[in-house]
Homo-oligomer: A and B are copies of this chain.
Amino acid sequence: MAILKAALELTAEHGYAGLTIDGIAARSGTGKQTIYRWWPSKADVLLDAAATKADLFVPIPDEGSFAADLRGFLAASFVLAAKKPLADALRALMAQAQIDPEFRRRFWTAFLQRRRDALQVLLVRAQERGELPVSVESLTDVVFGVIWYRLLTDRPLDDQLADELVTLLSGRTSP
């Protein structure tokens, strides 16, 4: 869809602050009304665009051990977060979620919840094997907490962090 493409491009070029409905309409060759007919706000357009891109990368590895599975999940997630345009969009969406409570719910169910579900497949599997030191819920928050905190403070998600997270959560060094 031309509208989603325009939204991503404009965010990349001028930042989320420079993203406007007028701009999306002009760039995509549509009318503003058409955008408002399908999305309640510019953030929702961006959410749609980002969700489409990000969904392709939700892996649910099964490599025998929790440490290996977690390592795989982190690797895929870090690759995703390293894509500048996508990372910029995600940071903007999390920002908008703080400002607009309606959007926060949509962002939660359409994006955050899906990724939590993916991770929790691994975690529940590990829990059943007795490999988890603490609850699934807390571990989910720890993993996504670190990722988002690094993202939001504009600092890279590097291999060292992945290694140390695996060590911390699985009780052993990553393979």
Q: How large is the interface on A (under 10, 10 to 19, 20 to 34, 35 or more residues)?
A: 35 or more
Contacts of A134 in B (CB 8 A): 164, 167-168
**A154 within 8 Å of B (CB atoms):** yes
| Count of chain copies | 4
Q: Is the interface of A mostly helix, strand, loop or mixed?
A: helix
Q: Are B145's CB and A164's CB within 8 A?
A: no
**Which of B97, B108, B150, B169 touches A145 (beta carbons < 8 Å)?**
B150
Contacts of A99 in B (CB 8 A): 15-17, 92, 95
Contacts of A142 in B (CB 8 A): 142, 145-146, 165, 168
Q: Are A104's CB and B154's CB within 8 A?
A: yes
Q: Are B100's CB and A98's CB within 8 A?
A: no
